[in-house]
Structure 1
Amino acid sequence: MRRTFLAPTLTAGVLLACLATVSVATSPDVNSTTAQAATVELAAPFERLQHELEKQWPHNRMVRIVFHGHSVPAGYFKTPIVRAFDAYPSLFHRQLCEQYPTAVIDVSVTAIGGENAVSGAARFERDVLSLRPDLVFIDYCLNDRRVGLENAAEAWRSMIRNALDANVRVVLLTPTPDLHEDILDSTTPLGLHAQQVRDLAEEFGVSISDSYAAFANRASAGEDLQKFMAQGNHPNRAGHEIVASELSKLMRAQAN
C-alpha cells in the first residue's frame, strides 16, 4: 500500500520567525509576560535578517549562510565526481539572490563527503560558528545510519544547541533518497532517521525542510526516483533542484 508523505506544516508567520526560537530562563523577579517578550525577541532575528536581505547599498551588509553536512550538500554526484554548482546549496544561493536582488549573500559549504553527524558536531564550532553565519542548514541523515539513531540524535542536539546559543538560526534537512531502501516504508533505517530529524525540529522549535517527504510524495504518485539520482545514494541535478525548491519555499513563506 502506498502512502503519501506530507512535509510538516508550520503556521503562517511562525515558519521562519521560529528559526531561532530557544527557551528563556526566568529569574523570580521576571514575570511570565517579560519571559514571553524575551522569547519573541529571540525568535525575531530572522525577521531582522529578512530586512537585511531587502536593504540596498549603502545600507546593506553581507548575509552569510552555511550548509553543513555530508556528500550531498558537498556536491558529490557519481563518486568521485563533484558538481558543486549543480548541488542544492549553489542552486538555492542563486534562487535567493534572484529573490533579493539588492542583497550581498555569501553561501559557505562546510560539508565533507562520507561524514556523519558525530564528526560534524565535533567540528561545528571550529568550521561553522567561526564563520559567524546568520543561518545554518544541517544535512547528515544518509551517513547517520552508520552511527545509529541514538548517537546521531546526540550529535544533532549538540549542533542545534550550539547554534542557538550563538543566536544563529537553524534549518534541519531530512535526507534525499537512497534507492537501496523503500522510501515509502517509514520503518527503514533512513525512514527512521528522517523521522528523528522531524522530532528534533519539534523538540527545539526550529524549522525543517523535509526533502525526504518531497521525494516520497513523488514516489507515491508513481514517479521513478531513479530519474532524480546520479547514483544510488546521490541525487543528480534534477534531484538537487527538488531540495533547492523546498528551501526556497521555506524562505518565501513568511514574505508572502
Structure 2
Amino acid sequence: MRQRPPRPHPPRRAPRTTRRRELMLAGLFSTLLAHSASSHAAGSEHCVLPAQLVHVSGHLQRTRAHLQLHQPLDIIAIGSSSTEGYGASSPDHSYPAQLERLLRSRHPDTAIHVFNRGRGGEIAAQTLARFGRDLLPYRPTLVIWQVGANDVVRNVPLAQFAATLEHGLDQLAAAGFEVMLMPPQYAPQTAAARQIDAYIDYLEDLAHRRGLPLIERYRLMRDIARRDASLLRAMLTPDGMHQNDLGYYCLAAQVAYAIDDQLPPSGAALIVQSKERGK
C-alpha cells in the first residue's frame, strides 16, 4: 500500500516577518525594465520570470499526465534550508507550500500534495542518507531535489558532490520516480564561492545527460540581480543567503510554470506581483 509522507514540521529558526497577502500573478509584460522601475516607485514588490529561464527540458510525462487526467499527484520536495523554509515568516510560506497552492489554483479538480522534506544545513550527502527514510517509501510521482548551496559554500570538492548526486539519482531512477533538479540560489555567499561556476555547469550537464528538468534558479536570480539589485535584496533575508516569503514565492512560481510547461510569449517576462498587508 502506498504510504503518504507526514506533513512538514515547522522550519527551525524562521524569523518573524510581516505576513503577506496571497501572492497573485499580475500578467505578461514585454517592457521589463520600465515595469521594474514603476513597481519600485510605487512601493510594490515583484519578481520576473524570463521565458527562457522558465521553460525546462527533460522528462515530466507522468507528472503532466496526472494533471491532465485529474489524477492525484504527490510531489516530494527534498533538500536543505531552502526547502525547509528558513527565512519564511511561517511554514505556509515555504516554497513547497506555495507551490502546492499555485498548482491547486491551476488544477482545482486534481488532488495535489507537495510534501516538504527539507532539513536546514545539510550537504547533498546528508540529504541522500535520508532517502531511505524520508523519500523512497512514499512513492511520489515527482521528486524535486534542491541541492548544492551548502556544498559549494563549504567547499565540498566537485568530484565528491558529483558522486553523491549520481548515486542519489540512480536510486531515484531505480524507484521509478520523475526527478526535477534545483541548483543553489544566487546570493552573495554562493556567488562568492570558489567552485560556484563549476557546480552550476556540472548540474546543467548532469540534467542534460540524464534527461532531467532543471530549475534555472541560480541564473534566474542572477538575471534579477543584474537588472535590479534592489529587487534581489527584497527577495533575500538579511543574512544575504536565504530567501524570504517573496523569494520563495518567485521560486514556487518558477517551478509551477516549469511543471505545467506554460510559457510567456517569446521575448516577454512574467511579472509576479506581491503586496504586503497589515497584521
TM-score, scaled relative to structure 1: 0.74
* Aligned equivalent of 1:205: 211
Report matched runs for 1:72-151 at 5 Å.
72-77=82-87, 83-145=90-152, 146=154, 147-151=156-160
Alignment partner of 1:237 is 2:237: no
Taking the aligned partners of 2:142 and 2:54, their CA distance within structure 1 comes to 20
* Aligned equivalent of 2:186: 177
- Higher relative contact order, structure no. (Cα contacts within 8 Å, ≥ 6 residues apart): 2
3-state SS, counterpart of residue 109 of structure 1? strand
CA contact (8 A) 1:172 1:208 kept: yes
Q: Which of these residues, 54, 65, 81, is aligned with residue 51 of structure 1?
A: 65
Deviation at 1:254, TM superposition (A): 6.6
Q: Which of these residues, 194, 200, 216, is aligned with residue 200 of structure 2?
A: 194
Structure 1 residues 110 and 82: CA distance shift in structure 2, 3 A: farther
Deviation at 1:200, TM superposition (A): 1.3
Alignment partner of 1:222 is 2:228: yes
Deviation at 1:242, TM superposition (A): 1.8
3-state SS, counterpart of residue 72 of structure 1? helix
Which structure 1 residue ranges, 5 or more long, are not aligned?
20-45
Deviations 1:108-165 (A, max 9, x none): 1111111010111122133111111100001121111222211111111112111111
Structure 1 residues 48 and 178: CA distance shift in structure 2, 3 A: closer
Letter in 1 for 2:86: Y
3-state SS, counterpart of residue 229 of structure 2? coil
TM-score, scaled relative to structure 2: 0.68
RMSD of Structure 2 on Structure 1 (CA): 2.5
Taking the aligned partners of 2:190 and 2:125, their CA distance within structure 1 comes to 23
Structure 1 residues 47 and 181: CA distance shift in structure 2, 3 A: closer
Taking the aligned partners of 2:189 and 2:117, their CA distance within structure 1 comes to 27
Deviations 1:42-92 (A, max 9, x none): xxxx43443332445xxx4x3210011001110111xxx763211111111
Letter in 1 for 2:259: M
Taking the aligned partners of 1:102 and 1:255, their CA distance within structure 2 comes to 22
Which structure 2 residue ranges, 5 or more long, are not aligned?
1-49, 265-279
Structure 1 residues 109 and 248: CA distance shift in structure 2, 3 A: same
Taking the aligned partners of 1:110 and 1:137, their CA distance within structure 2 comes to 10
Deviations 1:175-230 (A, max 9, x none): 112323547xxx84333322221121112111100111111111121333221101
Taking the aligned partners of 1:255 and 1:47, their CA distance within structure 2 comes to 17
Taking the aligned partners of 2:69 and 2:263, their CA distance within structure 1 comes to 14
CA contact (8 A) 2:235 2:246 kept: yes
Question: Which is further off, 206-215 or 84-93?
Answer: 84-93
3-state SS, counterpart of residue 110 of structure 1? strand
Letter in 1 for 2:64: Q
* Aligned equivalent of 1:160: 169
Letter in 2 for 1:232: G
3-state SS, counterpart of residue 118 of structure 2? coil
Identity of counterpart residues, as a percentage? 24
Letter in 1 for 2:99: F
Structure 1 residues 108 and 9: CA distance shift in structure 2, 3 A: closer
